[in-house]
Amino acid sequence: MITELLRRIGPSADPGNNQRARDRLYSPPTNDPAEANFAEDWQEYVEPELARLFQSAIEVIEGDLKKMHADPVTGEATVSIPSDHLEAWIHGLNQARLVLTERHKLQDEDFDVETLPAGDPRAFLLLQLRIYAQLQWLFLRYLEGH
């Protein structure tokens, strides 16, 4: 199951045509009508660069995942993530979490639920979000030297 969650990072991070997710990823630095020119410049120059950075992080993750190996006897999969790829993983995981949260219109109280009833469609989604958050935390701790 963890292998499947890792493989879902890229697709989960793609906002596609979901306006809520796109707004979350590419929110303008200001909504002040007096700074409309600044907001337009942001959209023209910064958003495309952000999109390239986001895509680059996902490409790093997907490249690392292509090197995942499954043990033929146990079926356990392992992936080696070079330390210089951890920042890309952190960014990609964060992007996936933001997009999933917006795509599924989750609220803060949705994350407070400890257990969900069997068959609740949000169960897998919340597990996915929690695992992505835990991985981010572990990678950040590693980069901090702890």
Q: What is the pTM of this model?
A: 0.85
Q: pLDDT at position 63, please?
A: 97
Burial of 87 (0-12, 13-18, 19+ CB in 10 A): middle
* Chain segment 54-108, per-residue pLDDT in tens: 999 999 999 999 999 888 898 889 999 999 999 999 999 999 999 999 999 987 6
Integer Cα distance of 65 and 84 in angstroms: 15
